[in-house]
Chains A and B, each alone.
Chain A
């Protein structure tokens, strides 16, 4: 399956990926409104990590051997049968945080507005995730490896 990969040598640390992720998963879908008013409710599922001059964006790795799916007490965390993406069904999630407990990438977060797990969904329904599409320096790629 296709995954998002960061090329840290190209990452500028601009955090546009975080902003576009937030907008995509916001109610308004409008960049200024989402950024200014929805930060309390929508969280980006993409996180830029920085250390010195090095930076890269990190999202759920959609692991082949996904610990979060095994640890999920409700069955909410599951693999989409068609895309292979690891998806959390937030209607079934009860926010027990077992997924956060086991994710080695630290890529699952507590939802900001509801007690449910929040993570990258590869922008389900889009050909290319928005973080990749809007990266100004092609530091994020979406490909099979």
Chain B
């Protein structure tokens, strides 16, 4: 490229990218922003694909930001373009247009973009277990709008009635719920001994399992699928580890997502599971940042370096990157897991080390079987490090705030699950800060 270097080059077109763009434009009104998006679509909300598949919303509600978003923020959005390779030494990214069928065109159409600052926000990619038959027609992943469209088309064309969902985590549950809403019979197969094993403890998980079964979703936990049975290239069933068979006419692979860091592998940019970033969202190479599901930072509660692929972090990490790219100062030091998952009408919210037990952890629980509610709070050294609310999720954010700010709750521990916890029962200094609307500084 003979053109001037791009002031801000952003790879990815989702939550983290939007966070970065909005933060950059608060500081720098007109520095050039170029965005590379693989999907030829205006920025949309990925979590909404399950609502779209279920038919609860139409396509017009998929936009994450208004249609004039790029124009209003002066973003040169190149959509339907894929980043192939980052060269941190030359400070270039090789990009190429994607054909309508999703494949890359030949290398002749590729070009090198030179950047001053770079944000890698390429997100995550579905993990597809190496099960025999996974390439058959009727096997889907569930991560993008196209996935939802392909599932819809398959169901309509084949009149598919029996679905098997591989994985009982967040994506599997949402896929199952949506397929059920469309009238399909659904079986979830989960390798662990319970659904949502990462966010829910055994008791909460059994409540979720009941909600699923009540909604007509079948569950098989503690087992794996050995083979997808294929007839004439098309899915016809699955075989379990124990040899049992179950017929189906579609399979959704929902075994998790992994950071999509392939474009930086083998470069000076350090990668573990995801692209390693510090609290400024900067990678091991100065001026190159990463944010969202592709990134790996420090979990502030466990102290471990790990990807935390959740929506609110993607935005904040992107915004922190954008601020720093534009010459401002921002850090993100309070990352921890936070998931709100509605399971067939049963609200669940899981925050931090919600399932921790034993050792240094003190666990408080309360339950109302009639109302189908359950709450669990995990403390360590007088501070809350985890919270799990099922059925009744009102004001759970107060707990999130106490976790984030590491407030000593010893003096009001007896109120935590009493139903009388409010701002008024919190330490005055903290309460005044929350009420002031300053919340916490970025």
Contact = CB atoms under 8 A, between A and B. Distances in A.
A-side interface size class? 35 or more
A79 to B, nearest CB: 10
The 9 A-B pairs with the shortest beta carbon distances in the complex, nearest first, are: A104-B401, A106-B395, A103-B397, A61-B437, A71-B312, A49-B424, A70-B315, A49-B422, A63-B439
Given A50-B424, A51-B422, A94-B57, A5 B396 contact: no
B63 A75 contact: yes
Contacts of B70: none
A142 interface: no
Nearest to B351: A101
A104 B436 contact: no
B439 A51 contact: no
Interface stretch (A17-25, A29-37, A52-60, A128-136): A52-60
Interface in A94-142: 94-106, 108-110
Contacts of B63: 75
A145 B436 CA distance: 9
Contacts of B315: 70-71
B435 A61 contact: yes
Given A70-B319, A101-B349, A104-B397, A6 B435 contact: yes
A110 B394 CA distance: 8
Interface in A64-78: 64-67, 70-71, 73-75
A51 B411 CA distance: 15
A64 B311 contact: no
A70 B51 CA distance: 20
A92 interface: yes
A100 B339 CA distance: 11
Consensus secondary structure, chain B interface: mixed
A55 B45 CA distance: 40
Interface of A: 3, 5-6, 49-51, 54-56, 58, 61-67, 70-71, 73-75, 92, 94-106, 108-110, 145
Interface in B6-44: 19
B127 interface: no
A74 B437 contact: no
Nearest to B341: A96
B278 to A, nearest CB: 20
B56 A104 contact: no
Nearest to A3: B437
Nearest to B65: A75
15 contacts: A54-B424, A56-B424, A64-B437, A65-B438, A65-B439, A73-B45, A95-B342, A100-B393, A101-B349, A101-B351, A104-B400, A104-B439, A104-B440, A106-B394, A109-B394
Given A92-B61, A98-B340, A101-B397, A61 B434 contact: yes
Identify the interface centre among B47, B424, B442: most chain A CB within 10 Å of its CB: B424
